[in-house]
Structure 1
């Protein structure tokens, strides 16, 4: 949980203390607080080097409006990938309102999750998949995300796979 919180509050590509060029806009993110008819369902996991699948069991999943501020942060943290290794979690202050304009849920033991009553818009969906002993200095896994857009015309749930690929 702390790792994901640190990730959401950080930027790494230009250094741990470089601020975002964009300012957080509550007005731009406000669509997340609207009630919609959309459903986002997903599965969060990572595949280890020998093919073993590790589910994101009991992890917090965040639904984040893809505002200019969020888009800049994700681009700087992840670059061109959809996975950030656990040991690369950045450490930086984030606008406190950024977290206020997100929704969260938890994954099942099998890494499944769902958001209902989602308003139309573009979102980042993010969680972490970590394994190894909690007291280990270098645990394996990291944070995964994907982007999803709801138009408001969906009649079936939109499926998201969070695997880092």
Structure 2
């Protein structure tokens, strides 16, 4: 739920100055043969791996709007701690309509099939601790991927925040 707020909401952060363009994001809705697989996890301070079990994974077309949004959320990194999640704000329905979703398995593995060529962000949440705790450990991880349409094997990502 927090990840959805982070991805889709205007949130308590610097607002985007680039307008969303449905035409620029339209490639995500085209038919494709690409497959993106991945493993989402975080490593706790003492070395224990925590998988993103049952979490929603978002496939976001890299548009000017999305690039600015991710830069505002993540800065130069690929991870933002749970305590810094933006929790509320305005939604952009057009942006939401150009984002694909899937869920991770219990081992943190996920897949997107029939993906059209293009540049994408792939993002999910990895947290641990009690559900009712306001401040949990972990956070949101993402990575970038490009599909050319010439891939013969799935493109594999590791979403660990590094």
| SS, match of residue 50 in structure 1 | coil
Separation (CA, whole Å) in 1 of partners of 2:67 and 2:14: 16
Q: For 1:31-58, what per-residue CA distance to the aligned partner results, in whole angstroms no more than 9, with x for missing partners?
A: 0001111100000000000000000000
Matched, 1:8 2:4: no
Q: Which runs of 5+ in 2 are unaligned?
A: none
Separation (CA, whole Å) in 1 of partners of 2:59 and 2:134: 29
Which of 51, 65, 68 pairs up with 1:55?
A: 51
Say if 1:58 and 1:17 are closer, same or farther in 2 by CA, change over 3 A.
closer
Which of 144, 147, 150 pairs up with 1:150?
A: 147
CA shift, 1:99, in A, is 1.1
Could you list the runs of 4 or more consecutive aligned residues of structure 1 that deviate by over 3 angstroms after TM superposition?
Answer: 9-12
Separation (CA, whole Å) in 2 of partners of 1:41 and 1:157: 6
Report the RMSD for the aligned CA atoms in angstroms: 1.3
| SS, match of residue 130 in structure 1 | strand
Which of 65, 75, 82 pairs up with 1:79?
A: 75
Native 8 Å contact 1:11 1:76 kept in 2: no
CA shift, 1:10, in A, is 4.7
For 1:2-151, what aligned pairs fall within 5 Å after superposition?
Answer: 2-10=1-9, 16=12, 18-90=14-86, 91-151=88-148
CA shift, 1:18, in A, is 3.8
Native 8 Å contact 1:10 1:73 kept in 2: no
Higher deviation after alignment, 101-110 or 85-94: 85-94
CA shift, 1:92, in A, is 2.7
Native 8 Å contact 1:64 1:102 kept in 2: yes
**Aligned length in residues:** 161
CA shift, 1:62, in A, is 0.5
TM-score (norm 2): 0.95
Q: Which runs of 5+ in 1 are unaligned?
A: none
Native 8 Å contact 2:10 2:90 kept in 1: no
